[in-house]
Amino acid sequence: MLPFIRSDLNQIRAYTPHPSGDDGKPVTAAITLDRLDTNESPFDLPVELKEKLAWTYQQLIESNRYPDGGHEALKQAIAEYVNESAGINPTAFTPANISVGNGSDELIRSLLIATCLGGEGSILVAHPTFSMYAILAQTLGIPVVQVQREANFEIDLAAAQLAIEQTQAPAIRVVFVVHPNSPTGNALTSSELEWLRNLPEEILVVIDEAYFEFSQTSVVRELLQQPNWVVLRTFSKAFRLAAHRVGYAIAHPHLIAALEKIRLPYNLPSFSAAAALVALQQRQLLLESVPQLLAERAKLIYALKQHPALQVWDSAANFIYLQLKATDFKAGAQDSLGNLTQQLKANGTLVRQISGGLRITVGSPEENLRTLNRLQAALNKRDEGREASKKPSL
């Protein structure tokens, strides 16, 4: 390590977002893979929207000029969408309630900087959950307190409460939850929500609704009564704009003002802002794919649940979480899981191996069919391998 680098960075490894996709193979090879490891939409933007965006770039974006650093038009459009999708008064949330980030990842970092930096606070997460909260906290030297989840993946609320009461120097200042959670797909329950409502107002509650368009469940209305809550959303999933990196936060204007102080002045490239605006204008068209994905999810879950070796959970998002059943643990579930992931990859399907299970994105109908076939083939092969390995000892 170079002598001028912060010593605690020694302990941190760089995040590799696509561990299975980026292994030095030519790009053309990657494109033939079913990339079901990052919860993107399987559908690119429709051609007519790409053409509209190309036109916008040619006619309206001056590439020699800095972007609109205030994001006014985009914030206005986001506020309208937030109000409309929550079925509330069209002026309930205004641009003063919105901050836009270079992906919601940027907003997570800004929230950490605004709350905990300089030894002022720790964060609380319930494992397993989205990894970026802990990763970004570590890069800022912010302590991470982790509690477990129950068998149904609800947060262990007794442990969480104890952590809040007992963590000192620095005390917990932010609680991060995903609604519905990644990788497990469960939405917050009424008891989890009740616990969050009862947290003291010195604690910020971050509710990450990255999968809102799939779950259609949101706490946005409650923000009007909860100045210590913030909701994060993204254009990377249902809106099909992962390539453009646009996320947003919805919160009390005072919290938004703090986030605005922290962000880089031109955090969002003009082209990304234009893409998000076009996506919002055409939201009806883009979100038409959601019911189809939900129907595919139901088919996939039903089929996977038939398999005796798999434990499959219901999901409120665009991915499915499964584990190998307990009988497999004797045979080394972690190994089996690793083999399964490798087999799937060798056959062209990328999935995410995480927290003792697999997270599989719901893809196009063709991809999902291949997922089922390839998973079946990999499990058959594993069973054959076991039978063969038993023989010599007989």
Interacting residues with ligand PLP (CB under 6 A): 39, 103-105, 130, 178, 182, 208, 210, 234, 236-237, 242, 247
| CB nearer ligand PLP, residue 122 or residue 236 | 236
In the complex with ligand PLP, the residue whose CB is nearer, 128 or 374, is: 128
CB of 126 to ligand PLP, least distance (A): 13
What minimum distance in Å lies between the beta carbon of 29 and ligand PLP? Answer: 24
**Minimal distance in Å, beta carbon 182 to ligand PLP?**
4
Comparing CB distances to ligand PLP, the nearer of 208 and 296 is: 208
CB of 377 to ligand PLP, least distance (A): 29
Q: Which residue is nearest to ligand PLP (CB)?
A: 103
Tell me how far, at minimum, the Cβ of 183 lies from ligand PLP, in Å.
9
Peptide bond into 170 cis (omega under 30): yes
C-beta of 95 vs 103, nearer to ligand PLP: 103
* Comparison of 95 and 247: residue with beta carbon closer to ligand PLP: 247
Nearest approach, Cβ of residue 235 and ligand PLP (Å)? 7
CB nearer to ligand PLP: give 107 or 256: 107
